[in-house]
Structure formats: structure tokens, C-alpha cells
Amino acid sequence: MSNKKELISELTPEQESQIQVYVDKYLTLANSGAYREVYKHESVSKLVDWMYTFSGFAKPMTILARNPYEAQMINQYLTKNYNTKIDQYLDSTDEAERSRLYDEVIEDVYKNISPVSDGNYTENYIFTADVFTNVLLGWWGYMIDVLKLESDINAEFLLWRELYENAGVYNAICNDKVCITSKYPEKISRNEAGDLHSTTDPAVVWEGMEWKCYYINGRNIPAKEFEMALDGEVTKEIYDAETNEDIRAAWYEILGQEKMLDVLDAMVVDTGTFVHNNGDIEEVILYKTRKSYPETGDNPYAWIRFTCPSTGTVYLIDVDPKYNTALEAAVSTTDLVSSVEDYKFDDRA
């Protein structure tokens, strides 16, 4: 009998449909708060102990932090102020004594750590206890469960998957005698494309030591610059002096178009009037900044302001700075017509 395995040349419709099931499973676990519910010392220690044993190392003391920044501060503190009770904990076989020693180490840590860092961040992360673990669990699990992949590591994978899903570790800093794990965030805000995004608050909110994670359309924005916009401290001089395009783009998103008109001292370039088929008169105004910017191809920012003739609603739309008349700029904002002459409506929705 031949031992040759049959190769998969293409997926069946059922197999293909299961891909999204596995993707959705781990996205939901990460985003819904489910991992936060299982983040307990007992379950996390089981995962960490398995990882260290599987890698050929002695089991460490596992410390649970509430966010990755807090974990870094704990790691820095213990690096400089190693607590010998950790050794006593590792040497002891009495669970009551181990529990007491663990509590004493934790009490010492949280009494002394502070949100002041020397910038010496560790990168002793390991893929088997990290947010990106979800990627491997999803794809490898799909291949085992759905495609029936046979491998020498299947048994270890299935055990690891169970341990990780029941531990909820965001990431882990792995040292010789101590492993410091982090909890998943309390809240995550995203835009329609799925990128981390919020114009009013941190896009990722963590429990524990304050760690402000601001994002605009997937770009991490420093807290100082983000909060400058929230507090109304961005002026034309500050905006023009900023050379980081991501920060300028963030300020633009946070402040909004109307505020940016004032901040950048935009000028009226042209005005125009449309007379629609139903007799409605629509006024439009073209604005441009006096200064050009790299993100617009060394051109000014440009906006067209519409005033709805039926409701009086006023709104702005970004337009290509190549337009010099308000009417042409207004027509460029719609796919319904292609010329100023055709920009006439019987009614407005």
C-alpha cells in the first residue's frame, strides 16, 4: 500500500467558506473582551509554564500586568531591583508559601513602579504568547481542523491553542526567572477600514497604569500632539512648522475642515451660483490656503463650501487645488454630472 499523501490542489467551496469562520473567531476573541475574561493567574501560568518547558527552560514566576506599558515598567524595575523572593518562590514546592511569596513580590512591584521610563524597553517577546498568536492559531488550526493536515506537531499545537485561548495573554516579556504578561485592552476604536482610529479619545484604552494610545486612520500619534488639537492649541504657525505629515494629517482629522479654515487662514478664491431646474439657488464658495503643503503635491489645501438651498445646511468638501472657479470645483465633487452647464437638479435629496 502506498504511503503517498494526496496533495490539495484547490479548496472545495465548503473549505473556502471556513476561512472566514476562523478569521472571525480570532478577531472576535481579540476585540470582544473574551480574552479579558479568562486572563487569570492560574490560566496564564499554565500557558507560560508550557512555553518554557516546551523550549527547554525551567518554569518562571509569571506576573500579570494590566497593559504592555505597565509590563515594561515592571520589567525595568525588577531588572534594577531584583527581588530575591522570586528565587524562594521558584525553589518552593509548597503552594501556600509560593502564593505568599508571589503576593509579596507583586506588592513590592506595584508599590515602587512609576510611569517614568529610561527608554530601555525590552523586546523579549515570544510568538506563542502574543496578540499575533491569533494569526497562527487561526491559519494552522484551519489547516488541521478543515484541511486535515497531518503533522508531528499537531498534538503540541492543539494543546497550545487550548492554553492560549484560555489564558488571554496580549503579549509576554520572557526573562530567565520571570515572565511578565499583559492583558488585552478594555476598548478598541476603529474606522470603517478596520484601522485603529479615534478623533476624540485614545483608540486603544487599557486598564492599569495610564498609557494613552492615540491613532488616526491606523497611524500612531504622540499624546502631546494629539492633545494639542483637542485643547485647541494648534495655530497656523505651529501647523506650518510641523514637518511630520502624519501629525499634520491627524490635526486635520481632529479639528475638522471648518476649524482648519480658520487655523490656516484660508482665503476666498471665488464664489458662484447655480440655478437649478426647480428654481432653487445654490451658493458655492471656493477656499484655498495661502501656503502650499507637501501632502497636496506642493499645492494649497482647497475646499468648496455648499449651502443647501432647501435646508440651509452648510458643509465643506475637500477639492483638488487645480480648480480656480467655485463652479468647476463644485462640479468635481459629484459623479452625476460632468460640466457646470449640467449641474442642474429638479430636486435635492
Q: What are phi and psi of 161, to 5 degrees?
A: -60, -45
What is the domain range of residue 303? 266-331
Confidence band for 2, pLDDT divided at 50, 70 and 90: very low
Q: Report whether 246 contacts 219 (CB < 8 A).
A: yes
243 with 285, same domain? Answer: no
Nearest to 216 by CA among 190, 192, 234: 190
Statement: residue 112 has pLDDT above 90: yes
Number of domains in the chain: 3
27 with 159, same domain? Answer: yes
Between 118 and 173, the higher pLDDT residue: 173
342: in domain = no
Instruction: Specify the pairing of strand 61-65 against strand 178-182.
Output: parallel
Q: What is the pLDDT of residue 1?
A: 42
241 with 270, same domain? Answer: no
146 with 80, same domain? Answer: yes
Least confident of 1-10, 49-58, 194-203, 244-253: 1-10
226 with 276, same domain? Answer: no
Q: Please, which residues have CB within 8 angstroms of residue 37's CB and are 6 or more apart in sequence?
A: 168
Q: What is the pLDDT of residue 4?
A: 55
Burial of 205 (0-12, 13-18, 19+ CB in 10 A): middle
Q: Which helix (H) or strand (E) holds 241?
A: helix 236-241
Computed from CA positions of residues 309, 310, 314, 316, in that sequence, does the dihedral angle turn out positive or negative? negative
Q: What is the pLDDT of residue 13?
A: 93
For residues 281-302, give the mean pLDDT: 91
298 with 180, same domain? Answer: no
89 with 229, same domain? Answer: no
Q: What is the DSSP string of 168-184?
A: --SEEEE-SSEEEEEPP
Distance from C-alpha of 97 to C-alpha of 88, rounded to nearest angstrom: 9
